[in-house]
Amino acid sequence: MHCISVTYKKAPVEVREKFAWSNREIDRLQNEQQVLDSEYGMVVISTCNRSEIYFSSDIGMDAMRGLVKKYKGVDDDLYDEYADEYLDEDAAKHLFEVTSGMDSMVLGEDEVQRQVKDAYQFAHELGKTGLELNMLFQGALRCSRTIKAGTDIKYLPVSIGTLTANYAAEFANKLGRKANVLMLGASGKIGSVVVKDMLDLGCFNMYCTRRSHHLDFDDENCDSKMTVIDYDDRYSLVNDADIIISATKSPHCVIKKEPFEANISDNKERLMIDLAIPRDIEPEVAEVEGVKLYDIDFIKNMAEENNRKKAELRKEMDKIVDKVYGEVKEDFGFSLLMAEKKELLDKDPDLRKKVYKMRSESSLDEIRSLIEAHEFSEKNEGARSVENPGYFPLMIDLSGKRVLVVGAGQAAKYKIRSLAEAGADLTVIAPSLSPEAEGYEDRVHFLKKAYKAGEASGFDIVVAATNDSTVNDRVLYDAKKAGAIVCSAEKPKTGDFIFPAVLRKKDYQVAISTEGADPHAAKQLKQRIAAGLEDELSDMVEVKNAK
C-alpha cells in the first residue's frame, strides 16, 4: 500500500482547500482505469485537516500522483511543496498513526477515527477494497480503540470540537453573561462535538441551523437545550450573536462579508471560528469592526499546549501501534502464505491442521519454514535412485566439528553416544532427555527446549531424530539450506548419510551398513562378527602394531 498525503502540518488552509475531495470526485477517481485494474483498491480520506489517498501499490505512485494533479488542477511545484508520499510499510504505519489520532492537531483526537472509518466503509461498499486494505484499515481502527481503552489519553481534551468549545467558553466568561452562539453545521462530525461540549459547559444560548427536519444527535436531550433555526435564516441571527461557529460541508462560503455587514447594527466584539475545509466564512469578514475571525489552523496553536501534556502518553501510544501493526502484518502475511500454498495444503489436511495450530504461538517465518520444509521433504523422499551405487564408507575425525542432534529419545540415543564418544563438539536440542541419553553432560551441550526454525544454521553436521515428522522436516530443511551434512533418522533417503552399526574395540572398528534398508539386519551382522571374528581381528591388529 502507498499513500499521498496533504495535511495541516505543511499546507495552510488555502492549500488544503485545493486538495479536498468530495464524494462525487472520490467516486469518479475510484472508476479510473488504473484503480479498476488494481488488486487491492483505494481509500480516500478528506477532512478539514487532511486529504489522503491510500492505494494499492500495484497502481503505482507515478500513476496516482498524475491523477491527483489532474483532478485537483495543481502544478508540479504546488504538489511537490505540500504533498507527502509514503511507500509500503511507511504508508501502513502512517495509517495507524492517523487513525489513532497521533498525526492530528490534537494528539489522540476522536473525530479522525470516525472519519477514517467512514472513508473506509464508503470505499468498501463500492467494492473498491481488497485483502490488503481491508486488513490494514480494520487493524488501524482496532489499534485506535485499543489506545483509547489502554491509555490515559481519554482523560485529556482530545478533539478539535472540545478545544473550540473551551475557547468559546473563555470568551463568554469575559462577557459576564451567557453568550449567544450561532452554530452552522451542528449535525456534522465536528459540529456535533462542539454543540454537545458547549451545552455541557452551560454558559451559552445555542442557536443551530438545520437543512433537514431535525438534527441528528445521539443525545435526544440536545434538542431541548437549543433553538433550531432554518439554514436560510442564518443572517437574521448574526446581529444578536456573540459567537459564530461554522463547520458545514458546503463547497462555498456560507457567511459572506456583504450580507453579514448588512445584518448587524453595531460593532460589538464578536468571536467567529471557521472549522470547515473549504472555508465557510469569507476571509473578508475579518475586516468588519469588532470581528475576531479564526480558522481551523488557529486550533493548531491551541492544541500545542495540550499536546505537551501528552508527550509521555505518546510513548505508550507508539508501543501499542507497533504491537497492533505487527499483528496485522503477520496476519496479512499469513493470509498471503495460505493463498500461495493452497494447493499443497489442500492435498495434505494434516499439514493444514499443523499450520493453523502453530498460528497462535509461532511467527510467520516459522510457519513458512514448516511448509517449505515439508515441501523439501516431499521432493527428496526417495530421491536416491536405484542406480545409485550407495553410500561411500568414510572414517572421519570429528574432533572440533560442530554437530547438532535434534531429539533425545529412542531414535537419538545411539547417535548421541556415538558422536560424543567420537569427540564431536556436540549440541543436543530436545524438550527432555531419555535415560539412555543422559550421562554425557561433560561432553554434550544439552538445550532442554523445543527446536526453533533456523537453529540448525552454523553446524557442520546435523541429525534430525525426533518423534515428530514436522520437526524433522524443518531441521532437515534448515540444515540443507545452511550447507550442513544431514542425517534424517525418520527418512534416511532424504539425508546425506546414515549411521552404520559399529563394532568398536580398542584397536579397531568395524562398520556394517545395509544402506538404510534394514538396520536390524546390520545390528545382527555386527553381533555375528563380534562373536566369530573378534579374537582373530584383535590378533591381526596386535601383530601389525608389533611390526
Q: Is the pLDDT of residue 41 over 90?
A: no
Band (pLDDT 50/70/90 cuts) for residue 542 is: low
CA dist 224 and 96 (Å) reads: 39
Residue 414, pLDDT score: 85
Take residue 290 and report the three cell numbers written for it: 469588532
In degrees and rounded to multiples of 5, residue 310 shows phi and psi of -105, 10
Residue 224, pLDDT score: 64
Q: Where are the beta strands (DSSP E) in 473-521?
A: 485-488, 501-504, 509-512
Q: Is the pLDDT of residue 35 over 90?
A: no
Task: For the chain, give the mean pLDDT.
Answer: 85
CA dist 455 and 482 (Å) reads: 10
- Nearest to 317, CA basis, from 150, 473, 524: 150
Residue 438, pLDDT score: 67
Q: Is the pLDDT of residue 222 over 60?
A: no
Q: Is the pLDDT of residue 528 over 80?
A: no
Residue 272, pLDDT score: 97
Band (pLDDT 50/70/90 cuts) for residue 118 is: very high
What does the pLDDT average to over 190-219? 78
Greater confidence (417 vs 67) lies with 67
Band (pLDDT 50/70/90 cuts) for residue 321 is: very high
Torsion of CA 106, 87, 11, 35, to 10 degrees: -110
- Per the listing, cell 442557536 goes with 207
What does the pLDDT average to over 424-450? 82
Q: CB count, 10 Å around CB of 409? A: 17
Band (pLDDT 50/70/90 cuts) for residue 386 is: very low
Q: Minimum mean pLDDT among 228-237, 347-356, 422-431: which range?
A: 347-356
Band (pLDDT 50/70/90 cuts) for residue 538 is: low
Domain ranges of the chain: 2-155, 160-306, 349-499, 502-546
| Residue 515: half-sphere exposure toward Cβ, Cα within 13 Å | 10
Q: Is 390 helix (H, G, I), strand (E, B) or coil?
A: coil
CA dist 427 and 191 (Å) reads: 68
Band (pLDDT 50/70/90 cuts) for residue 536 is: low
Residue 537, pLDDT score: 57
Residue 436, pLDDT score: 62
Q: Minimum mean pLDDT among 29-33, 510-514, 536-540: which range?
A: 536-540
Are 383 and 493 contacting, i.e. CB atoms less than 8 angstroms apart?
yes
Band (pLDDT 50/70/90 cuts) for residue 240 is: very high
CA dist 341 and 328 (Å) reads: 20
Residue 206, pLDDT score: 94
Q: Is 151 helix (H, G, I), strand (E, B) or coil?
A: coil
Take residue 243 and report the three cell numbers written for it: 459567537
Residue 108, pLDDT score: 77
Q: Is the pLDDT of residue 73 over 90?
A: yes
Band (pLDDT 50/70/90 cuts) for residue 86 is: very high
- Nearest to 352, CA basis, from 340, 341, 360, 366: 341
Q: Minimum mean pLDDT among 100-104, 162-166, 231-235, 371-375: which range?
A: 371-375
Band (pLDDT 50/70/90 cuts) for residue 544 is: very low
Are 183 and 208 contacting, i.e. CB atoms less than 8 angstroms apart?
yes
In degrees and rounded to multiples of 5, residue 342 shows phi and psi of -55, -45
Element (H, E) at 84: strand 84-87
Are 83 and 71 contacting, i.e. CB atoms less than 8 angstroms apart?
no
What does the pLDDT average to over 348-371? 82
Q: Is the pLDDT of residue 514 over 70?
A: yes
Band (pLDDT 50/70/90 cuts) for residue 289 is: very high
User: Would you say the CATH fold of 349-499 matches that of 2-155?
Assistant: no
- The residues, any chain, with a CB within 8 Å of residue 418's CB and separated by 6 or more, are 499, 502
Residue 85, pLDDT score: 96
CATH superfamily of the 160-306 domain: NAD(P)-binding Rossmann-like Domain (3.40.50.720)
Q: Is the pLDDT of residue 372 over 70?
A: yes
Q: Minimum mean pLDDT among 221-230, 413-422, 468-477: which range?
A: 221-230
By CB atoms closer than 10 A (0-12, 13-18, 19+), residue 124 is middle
**Angle, CA 54 vertex, CA 48 and CA 55 arms, to 5°:** 150
CA dist 435 and 397 (Å) reads: 27
Residue 198, pLDDT score: 92
CA dist 194 and 4 (Å) reads: 30
Measured over the CA atoms of residue 295, residue 296, residue 300 and residue 302, the dihedral's sign is positive
Q: Is 447 helix (H, G, I), strand (E, B) or coil?
A: strand
Q: CB count, 10 Å around CB of 136? A: 25
CA dist 97 and 153 (Å) reads: 14
| Domain 349-499 class, CATH top level | alpha beta
Q: Minimum mean pLDDT among 32-41, 48-57, 505-514: which range?
A: 505-514
Band (pLDDT 50/70/90 cuts) for residue 116 is: very high
- Nearest to 250, CA basis, from 279, 271, 219, 229: 279
What does the pLDDT average to over 456-474? 89
Strands 501-504 and 509-512: what pairing? antiparallel
Residue 315, pLDDT score: 84
- Nearest to 498, CA basis, from 489, 507, 509, 506: 489
DSSP string, 101-142: TTTSSSTT-SHHHHHHHHHHHHHHHTT-B-HHHHHHHHHHHH
CA dist 44 and 53 (Å) reads: 4
CA 226 to chain centre: 44
Residue 543, pLDDT score: 46
Residue 219, pLDDT score: 47
User: Which of 244-258, 365-379, 475-489 has the highest average model confidence (pLDDT)?
Assistant: 244-258
Q: Is the pLDDT of residue 429 over 50?
A: yes
- The CATH code of the domain at 2-155 is 3.30.460.30
**Angle, CA 546 vertex, CA 542 and CA 547 arms, to 5°:** 120
Are 147 and 317 contacting, i.e. CB atoms less than 8 angstroms apart?
yes
Model confidence pLDDT, tens digit, residues 47-56: 888 999 999 8
CA dist 459 and 170 (Å) reads: 72
Q: Is the pLDDT of residue 433 over 70?
A: yes
Q: Where are the beta strands (DSSP E) in 308-365?
A: none
What does the pLDDT average to over 326-355? 87
Band (pLDDT 50/70/90 cuts) for residue 324 is: very high
Which phi-psi region, left, alpha or beta, contains residue 104 (left: φ > 0; alpha: ψ -120 to 50)? beta
CA dist 213 and 291 (Å) reads: 31
Take residue 88 and report the three cell numbers written for it: 509500503
Residue 306, pLDDT score: 67
Residue 516, pLDDT score: 62
